[in-house]
């Protein structure tokens, strides 16, 4: 068991610890520049390469996109009901309950656990959450139309181009495949460094709501993943990817939105830290459940 899990967990943990150590050292870290680099260049190249070279059929990838829609919708519905019953502010607390860290943490875990096929399928799930966070979350939290953000998001264009290549069976030209592979390769390491840096800098205040949000995100994600895999009879790699992606802790991007729209950013930051630490503690059990 140890030999099976170590190659999956160790690279992720080491990269996150480097980012955390960077934050604690006080050395300057341009988070906004890094985030812009990853989201506007690295991740689009990663998505294009992942979809274009996916070792799976088009229906399988589109099924993963559908799973992403279903999982996020279920979390929004159930989470909204629970938060409403507890009298908590939906505009502040629903996004961190719905949006897990399927990018910074889910993608590398699926890559190391299942290889290129797992990464390609995980990108389908991540794509749904990423688009929803860019478009629906700002509309929900700030009551602002987000169509311009949608049109200015390179991830959308990379996904469309990748799907066209996948559907038509057209390979990327070798020079382009090498280019997007090279540039896309920076996305996952930088995402892990950014996650570690966030853990080292985000404040943990109002511990009770932070723990409550963290527990709700993790438990609901695990429950939704279990129900989806059982309902569709999923097996093998696709089952493992669904379990991992749905069970991820609160995404760091939720803090950026909460701070921008003044939606209890301190509590959301605490939920990110608490849920991520809990996820790391439970990671071996999660992987044992997810692996074939």
Tens of pLDDT along 146-181? 566 667 778 888 888 988 888 888 888 999 999 999
- Identify the pLDDT of residue 142: 62
Cα of first residue to Cα of last residue in the chain, in angstroms, is: 13
> Average pLDDT for residues 175-189, to the nearest whole number?
93
Query: DSSP class of residue 235?
Result: -
- Identify the pLDDT of residue 149: 63
Q: What band does 98 get if pLDDT is binned at 50, 70 and 90?
A: very high
Whether the per-residue pLDDT at 50 is higher than 80: the answer is yes
Report how far residue 72's alpha carbon sits from residue 224's, in angstroms, rounded to the nearest whole number. Answer: 9
Q: Give the helix, strand, coil percentages of the chain, each rounded to 5.
A: 85, 0, 15
Instruction: Name the token pair of 147.
Output: 């169509």
pLDDT-wise least confident of 78-82, 108-112, 250-254: 250-254
* CATH at 211: 1.20.1530.20
- Identify the pLDDT of residue 141: 62
**What's the domain count of the chain?**
1
pLDDT-wise least confident of 88-92, 134-138, 262-266: 134-138
Instruction: Give the angle 225-231-234 at the CA atoms, nearest 5°.
Output: 70
- Identify the pLDDT of residue 168: 85
Q: Which residues have C-beta within 8 Å of that of residue 280, sequence separation ≥ 6?
A: 13
Are 193 and 22 contacting, i.e. CB atoms less than 8 angstroms apart? yes
> Average pLDDT for residues 241-249, to the nearest whole number?
98
Are 263 and 92 contacting, i.e. CB atoms less than 8 angstroms apart? yes
More confident residue, 281 or 207: 281
Cβ neighbour number for residue 20 with a 10 Å cutoff: 18
Are 35 and 212 contacting, i.e. CB atoms less than 8 angstroms apart? no
Q: What band does 257 get if pLDDT is binned at 50, 70 and 90?
A: confident
Cα-based distances in Å from 244 to 26, 30, 189: 33, 29, 19
Whether the per-residue pLDDT at 145 is higher than 70: the answer is no
Phi and psi at residue 210, to the nearest 5°: -65, -45
Helices and strands counted in the chain (H then E): 14, 0
- The domain in which residue 261 lies consists of 2-18+26-290
Average pLDDT of the chain to the nearest whole number: 89
Whether the per-residue pLDDT at 44 is higher than 80: the answer is yes
Report how far residue 116's alpha carbon sits from residue 114's, in angstroms, rounded to the nearest whole number. Answer: 7
Report how far residue 107's alpha carbon sits from residue 241's, in angstroms, rounded to the nearest whole number. Answer: 9
């Amino acid at each position: 068991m140890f030999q099976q899990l170590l190659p999956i967990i160790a690279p992720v943990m080491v990269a996150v610890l480097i980012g955390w150590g960077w934050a604690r050292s006080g050395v300057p870290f341009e988070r906004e520049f890094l985030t812009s680099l990853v989201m506007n260049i690295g991740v689009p190249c990663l998505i294009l390469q992942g979809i274009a070279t996916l070792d799976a059929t088009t229906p399988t990838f589109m099924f993963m996109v559908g799973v992403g829609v279903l999982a996020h919708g279920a979390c929004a519905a159930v989470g909204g009901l629970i938060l409403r019953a507890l009298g908590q502010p939906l505009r502040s607390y629903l996004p961190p309950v719905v949006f897990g860290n399927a990018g910074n943490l889910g993608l590398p875990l699926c890559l190391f656990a299942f290889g290129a096929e797992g990464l390609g399928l995980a990108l389908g799930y991540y794509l749904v959450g990423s688009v929803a966070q860019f478009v629906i979350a700002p509309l929900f939290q700030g009551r602002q139309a987000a169509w311009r953000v949608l049109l200015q998001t390179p991830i959308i264009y990379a996904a469309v181009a990748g799907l066209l290549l996948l559907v038509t069976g057209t390979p990327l030209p070798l020079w382009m495949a090498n280019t997007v592979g090279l540039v896309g390769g920076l996305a996952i390491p930088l995402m892990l460094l950014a996650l570690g840096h966030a853990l080292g800098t985000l404040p943990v205040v109002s511990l009770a709501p932070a723990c409550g949000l963290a527990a709700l995100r993790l438990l609901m994600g695990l429950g939704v993943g279990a129900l989806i895999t059982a309902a569709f009879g999923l097996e093998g790699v696709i089952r493992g990817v669904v379990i991992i992606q749905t069970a991820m802790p609160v995404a760091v991007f939720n803090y950026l939105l909460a701070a921008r729209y003044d939606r209890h950013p301190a509590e959301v930051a605490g939920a990110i830290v608490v849920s991520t630490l809990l996820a790391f503690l439970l990671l071996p059990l999660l992987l044992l459940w997810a692996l074939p």
